Chains A and B, each alone.
Chain A
Amino acid sequence: KNEVEQSPQNLTAQEGEFITINCSYSVGISALHWLQQHPGGGIVSLFMLSSGKKKHGRLIATINIQEKHSSLHITASHPRDSAVYICAVDGGGADGLTFGKGTHLIIQP
């Protein structure tokens, strides 16, 4: 069973700061997902990665397959980025995704 660890669990930062959230996993995967969950439960997929780096606007996600590690970066953070960010890995089988516990991010104005 894949163990997915995220750090930090909680992060409070000031508007404009550069944010990094880390995810590590224990077993090889076919893909890694970064998800965003707002209060009330809705989950939105931000990135799916199997190698390298992806960028959408102010969000950047990287993955190092050899190190079994991924990072999510937010540049020029804004209060609307406040949410729970969840890392989830896909082992390639039929048993769905394995999720980390999430990082609760608060961006203060």
Chain B
Amino acid sequence: DTGVSQNPRHKITKRGQNVTFRCDPISEHNRLYWYRQTLGQGPEFLTYFQNEAQLEKSRLLSDRFSAERPKGSFSTLEIQRTEQGDSAMYLCASARGETQYFGPGTRLLVL
């Protein structure tokens, strides 16, 4: 257990539905990252927060994706109108220094 938690751990949804994932980072960590990992691949960067400010977004993050970190603590990642291609593991990591601490991930399956 790294101290980073994610909920839910698993989500199955029908295509077209909206889903929201939550990440609770280690409390003193000001940096928070979201990554997506598809089967057999390494994770890919999605977005980055420093405190409550979203400083970087990957071009992988289409308009259907939105992330927030309203008080600089927990973060949410919402996917609207899910597509089958969104099926993946969504990983959150937090950091204060150079080491990122990863949560267990939320595995999304879109049917």
Contact = CB atoms under 8 A, between A and B. Distances in A.
Interface of A: 4, 30-31, 33, 35, 40-45, 48, 86, 88, 90, 93-102
Interface of B: 2, 33, 35, 37, 40-45, 48, 50, 55-56, 58, 89, 91, 93, 98-102, 104-105, 107
B45 A45 contact: no
Nearest to B105: A41
Contacts of B101: 45
A94 B104 contact: no
Given A41-B107, A86-B42, A95-B58, A48 B98 contact: yes
Given A44-B102, A95-B45, A99-B35, 19 more contacts: A33-B99, A33-B100, A41-B104, A41-B105, A41-B107, A48-B98, A86-B42, A88-B43, A93-B56, A94-B50, A94-B56, A95-B56, A96-B48, A97-B43, A97-B45, A97-B100, A99-B42, A99-B43, A101-B40
Contacts of A102: 41-42
A99 to B, nearest CB: 3
B56 A45 contact: no
Given A41-B89, A41-B91, A41-B107, A99 B44 contact: yes
Contacts of A31: 98
